[in-house]
């Protein structure tokens, strides 16, 4: 029942039993979210710091709500307006926060490996909320939960991740997690957005979106990340939409049983047309609800570990 690690740094190397435990535990919290009083006293007395060095809406609010619904005390740190601008080093900032007696740290940072570094300089449980282009494990877990909720399984399912794979931490966590659970994972996108050597991870590469839609049960459509210089990989957003955008016509022509996921925020008219983003094939807002349940499960499993 307990997880094998006291941190959640990524899904690479996380055993199948652990992923299963997190997904199953999330079912419990999904029920709590449906109650009139959406709060349980489980993490009373635990203090969690949300250390966000990079902007975020969904993930930060989702983590914060998950913490509050488990009755943990939470503090939020964001880079803007902090003493980082006075020249304090990352390590000093963290050491100072830890000295205020905290139990867990949820961290997002633009550099890969920051959560791993934190495990070396603090005793708190560390949860990775996204590190650079590396991993975003809770996002992949909530994706897997949403897929399992809709299709009833992960084993043997064919999932295609579409878009800017090279700049995406969501893609990498999804690949590791889904493969561990026995799904077959492919990627699809323009050649400039597919990292070299991705085939070594056992991932099939598609460049034809119609073929990708036709041959998969699930499409996890990523956001074109303009802030990560994705603009230099494609001539224009319009052209990207013409070649790789998911539209109702493409779905109806190729595969009407396909399930569409998107981690948000959506660029409407770029990776998804607006009618798909609001249409019957997608579970985008279910993903958001499930995200709170998944984060509650992770916080619960790590926070009550002895």
Partner 1 sequence: MKIKAQLIDEAGLNRTITRLAHEILERNKGSENIVLIGMRTRGEFIAKRIHEKIKEIDKSEPPLGVLDVTLYRDDFRTRLKQPEVSVTNITFDINEKDIILIDDVLFSGRTARAALDALMDLGRPNTIQLCVLIDRGHREMPIRPDFVGKNIPTSINEEIKVKMKEIDGEDAVYLIDISED
> Taking the complex as a whole, how short is the minimal distance between the CB of residue 150 and partner 1, in angstroms?
18
Q: Does 31 contact partner 1 by CB under 8 A?
A: yes
> Taking the complex as a whole, how short is the minimal distance between the CB of residue 93 and partner 1, in angstroms?
29
CA dihedral 90, 95, 96, 100 (to 10 degrees): 140
Q: Does 244 contact partner 1 by CB under 8 A?
A: no
Q: Does 111 contact partner 1 by CB under 8 A?
A: no
> Taking the complex as a whole, how short is the minimal distance between the CB of residue 44 and partner 1, in angstroms?
9
- Of the pair 37, 191, the CB lying nearest partner 1 is at 37
Number of amino acids touching partner 1 (CB under 8 A): 19
Strands 47-52 and 125-131: unpaired
Q: State how far the Cα of 155 lies from the Cα of 140, in Å rounded to an integer.
A: 15
- Of the pair 41, 152, the CB lying nearest partner 1 is at 41
Q: Does 25 contact partner 1 by CB under 8 A?
A: yes
> Taking the complex as a whole, how short is the minimal distance between the CB of residue 305 and partner 1, in angstroms?
6
Q: State how far the Cα of 287 lies from the Cα of 216, in Å rounded to an integer.
A: 19
Q: Does 39 contact partner 1 by CB under 8 A?
A: yes
Q: Which of 1, 80, 191, 229 binds partner 1 (CB under 8 A)?
A: 1
Q: Which of 35, 91, 211, 268 binds partner 1 (CB under 8 A)?
A: 35
> Taking the complex as a whole, how short is the minimal distance between the CB of residue 200 and partner 1, in angstroms?
36
Near partner 1 in 282-301, by CB under 8 A:
300-301
> Taking the complex as a whole, how short is the minimal distance between the CB of residue 53 and partner 1, in angstroms?
31
CB under 8 A: which stretch of 26-34, 94-102, 157-165, 182-190 binds partner 1? 26-34
Write the secondary structure of the chain as one string of H (helix), E (strand) and C (coil). CCCCCCCECCCCCCCHHHHHHHHHHHHHHHHHCCCCCCCCCCCCCCEEEEEECCCCCHHHHHHHHHHHHCCCEEEEEECCCCHHHHCCCHHHHHHHHHHCCCCEEEEEECCCCHHHHHHHHCCCEEEEEEECCCECHHHHHHHHHHHHHHHCCCCCCEEEEECCCCCCHHHHHHHHHHHHCCCEEEEECCHHHCCCCHHHHCCEEECCHHHHHHCCCEEEECCCCHHHCHHHHCCCHHHHHHHHCECHHHHHHHCCCCEEECCCCCCECCCECHHHHCCCCECHHHHHHHHHHHHHHHHHHHHCCC
Q: Does 37 contact partner 1 by CB under 8 A?
A: yes
Q: Does 101 contact partner 1 by CB under 8 A?
A: no
Q: Does 220 contact partner 1 by CB under 8 A?
A: no
Q: Which of 16, 17, 20, 28 binds partner 1 (CB under 8 A)?
A: 28
Q: Does 305 contact partner 1 by CB under 8 A?
A: yes
Q: Does 47 contact partner 1 by CB under 8 A?
A: no
The residues of the shown chain that bind partner 1, judged by CB under 8 A, are 1-2, 25, 27-28, 31-32, 35-37, 39-42, 300-301, 304-306
């Amino acid at each position: 029942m307990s997880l094998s690690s006291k941190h959640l740094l990524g899904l690479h190397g996380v055993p199948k039993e652990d992923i299963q435990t997190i997904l199953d535990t999330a079912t419990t919290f999904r029920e709590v979210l449906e109650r009139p009083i959406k709060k349980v006293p489980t993490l009373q007395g635990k203090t969690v710091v949300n250390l966000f060095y990079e902007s975020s809406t969904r993930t930060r609010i989702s983590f914060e709500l998950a913490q509050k619904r488990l009755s943990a005390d939470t503090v939020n740190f964001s880079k803007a307006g902090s003493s980082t601008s006075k020249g304090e080093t990352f390590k000093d900032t963290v050491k100072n926060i830890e000295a205020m007696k905290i139990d867990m740290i949820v961290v997002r940072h633009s550099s890969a490996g920051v959560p791993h570094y934190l495990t070396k300089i603090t005793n708190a449980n560390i949860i990775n909320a996204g590190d650079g282009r590396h991993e975003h494990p809770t996002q992949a877990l909530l994706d897997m939960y949403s897929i399992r909720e809709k299709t009833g399984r992960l084993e043997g399912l064919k999932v295609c991740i579409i878009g800017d794979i090279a700049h995406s931490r969501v893609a990498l966590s999804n690949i590791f997690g889904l493969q561990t659970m026995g799904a077959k994972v492919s990627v699809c996108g323009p050649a400039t957005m597919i990292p070299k050597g991705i085939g070594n991870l056992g991932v099939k590469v598609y460049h034809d979106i119609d073929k990708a839609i036709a041959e998969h049960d699930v499409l996890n459509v990523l956001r074109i990340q303009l802030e990560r210089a994705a603009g230099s990989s494609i001539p224009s957003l319009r052209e990207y939409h013409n070649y790789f955008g998911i539209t109702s016509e493409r779905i109806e022509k190729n595969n009407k049983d396909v399930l569409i996921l998107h981690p948000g925020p959506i660029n409407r008219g770029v990776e998804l047309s607006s009618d798909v983003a609001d249409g019957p094939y997608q579970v985008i807002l279910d993903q958001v609800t499930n995200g709170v349940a998944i984060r509650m499960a992770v916080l619960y499993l790590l926070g009550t570990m002895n």
